[in-house]
Amino acid sequence: MSALDTAGSVTIVGLGPGSEAMITPEVSAALAQASDLIGYIPYVARVAPREGLRLHASDNRAELDRAHHALKLAAEGAKVVVVSSGDPGVFAMASAVFEALEGAPEFLGLDITVLPGITAMLAAAARVGAPLGHDFCAINLSDNLKPWDLIERRLRLAAEADFAMALYNPRSLRRPQQFARALEVLRDGCGSERLITFARAVTKPDEKIETVPLSEARAEMADMSTVVLVGNSATRRVGSYVYTPRSAR
Amino acid sequence: MSALDTAGSVTIVGLGPGSEAMITPEVSAALAQASDLIGYIPYVARVAPREGLRLHASDNRAELDRAHHALKLAAEGAKVVVVSSGDPGVFAMASAVFEALEGAPEFLGLDITVLPGITAMLAAAARVGAPLGHDFCAINLSDNLKPWDLIERRLRLAAEADFAMALYNPRSLRRPQQFARALEVLRDGCGSERLITFARAVTKPDEKIETVPLSEARAEMADMSTVVLVGNSATRRVGSYVYTPRSAR
């Protein structure tokens, strides 16, 4: 019997930003039917343990190993669910699984499904109003997998295009200076009055969200649990909300 | 008693792309508690009628009127739910409600909440693999609310930044030539081998998804129910899937 004759499967799911009320029913159903759960430690910890569910929690930065492990277990017949925070297709595990698949063509016939989730930028945007209500972009500020020069270049082009922006993984202990540099690039490209929102731990008990003009933004306002939203040139406040109009000139 | 002494509220919710299994529990709860449902006709039709729920379905392009109506009903004490397809903050009703609020400051004290949903691009991306797995942008190709020149400019800058792209509202009967022009701009900026995915009616019974190189893309492959995903320079196929690697040079 070849690996692909089994009834195993890999389902890559998004748990949303934190609140259980944002987990879609299809993701809950996949979790209920799983035999094996794979993911980064804090994401696996978000799923209630139950009899018959094997947990495989691994450290961060082990994405490819984790993805390969998922494919291998599925080939042995397991119903594997790979968990990501937010949406699995946005700076998360879905790409890692397909990268692992590319390197291990013996798994090509496996049943692989991606189930979307509420990604951090859209949960954060909803909390403050509608700052991404016009054309926007999403940029991962981590230079683990791309050179910093490319990140700066994209920030500059995004400012030139007048995109609203969502910035993921803005800051880590390992690279404290880079986000300060990103803020400089943004001030240069967008001006000091542009609104920027720091949304930390969205929908979690320790959620903290604040919006300031770029002139008042400091690197210390972000950490790795923060998604940062930058408005476009028309983004403004109305009452306690921040929104970007649907129209542009 | 002023309008703001009442217990009315406006909750702007995202119904996701079509499948009920992608509607979040918090959105379902809001729908169950609503007294009044406001939205574009086909979106209101997606909610099961029940006793005590007043339906206010309106035509497309009436977003601001609809938003003002929602605020007015809430000021009178109604528990209003405004429904959007996908996510309400992505080319949908959330911005329209805040625009209406800006024009009617008497409603500023109202309780307004936005509940995110699965937006079309992320549902489409999940269906084909992980084409948005690296930095990406979302551009609305409709020129109802912005000049076409700005759209072309953003497409060019997005290509220069090597963003993957999600294109909403690619084509309508009223402007059949524009999407053909957008494809020309993309071929010019991204080359003819770049992968493009046409995802129509995602998660609905008539879902149709196809991926081709830009050289084979024709304007007729999109309609107003289609979200279009354009890969970045590294986007590729693995088996029957399309994905964008997490890394870039």
C-alpha distance from residue B164 to each of B47, B56, B231 (Å): 33, 37, 5
- Distance, CA of B56 to CA of B35 (rounded, Å): 11
**B154: nearest CB among A123, A132, A135:** A135
Q: Are A222 and A198 in contact (CB under 8 A)?
A: yes
Residue B67 has pLDDT above 80, yes or no: yes
pLDDT at B1: 42
- Distance, CA of A118 to CA of A85 (rounded, Å): 9
pTM (predicted TM-score)? 0.97
Quote the tokens at residue B7: 């217990």
- Distance, CA of B47 to CA of B44 (rounded, Å): 6
Contacts of A64 in chain B (CB under 8 A): none
pLDDT digits (tens, 9 = 90+) for B199-233: 999 999 999 999 999 999 999 999 989 999 999 99
pLDDT digits (tens, 9 = 90+) for B106-136: 999 999 999 999 999 999 999 999 999 999 9
Inter-chain CB proximity A246 and B145 less than 8 Å: yes
Inter-chain CB proximity B24 and A118 less than 8 Å: yes
pLDDT digits (tens, 9 = 90+) for A160-212: 999 999 999 999 878 879 999 999 999 999 999 999 999 999 999 999 999 99
Res. A1 pLDDT band, cuts 50 70 90: very low
Q: Is A189 on the interface with B (CB under 8 A)?
A: no
Mean pLDDT of chain B: 95
> A112 to chain B nearest CA, in Å?
9
Quote the tokens at residue B173: 């009967």
State yes or no: ipTM above 0.90: yes
Which one is predicted more confidently, A93 or B173?
A93
Which one is predicted more confidently, B2 or A44?
A44
Mean pLDDT of chain A: 95
Q: Is B6 on the interface with A (CB under 8 A)?
A: no
Residue A2 has pLDDT above 80, yes or no: no
**B161: nearest CB among A114, A118, A157:** A157
E-state strands within B85-201: 111-115, 129-130, 136-140, 164-168, 195-200
**A184: exposed, middle or buried (C-beta count within 10 Å: 0-12, 13-18, 19+)?**
middle
Which strand (E) or helix (H) includes residue B40? Answer: strand B36-40
pLDDT at B6: 59
**B238: nearest CB among A102, A119, A138:** A102
A113 CB neighbour count, 10 Å cutoff? 14
Which one is predicted more confidently, A58 or B13?
B13
Preferred mutation among B93, B128, B246 to probe A, highest tally of A CBs within 10 A: B246
Inter-chain CB proximity B157 and A160 less than 8 Å: yes
**A89: nearest CB among B109, B130, B163:** B130
Inter-chain CB proximity A98 and B243 less than 8 Å: yes
The string of DSSP letters for A11-39 reads: EEEE-BSS-GGGS-HHHHHHHHH-SEEEE
Preferred mutation among A31, A65, A108, A114 to probe B, highest tally of B CBs within 10 A: A114
Chain B, nearest residue to A247 by Cα: B145
Chain A segment 155-184 residues within 8 A of B by beta carbon are 157-158, 160-163
Res. A6 pLDDT band, cuts 50 70 90: low
Inter-chain CB proximity A145 and B25 less than 8 Å: no
pLDDT digits (tens, 9 = 90+) for B79-110: 999 999 999 999 999 999 999 999 999 999 99
Q: Tokens 């937010």, residue?
A: A86
- Distance, CA of A21 to CA of A24 (rounded, Å): 8
E-state strands within B117-235: 129-130, 136-140, 164-168, 195-200, 208-213, 226-230
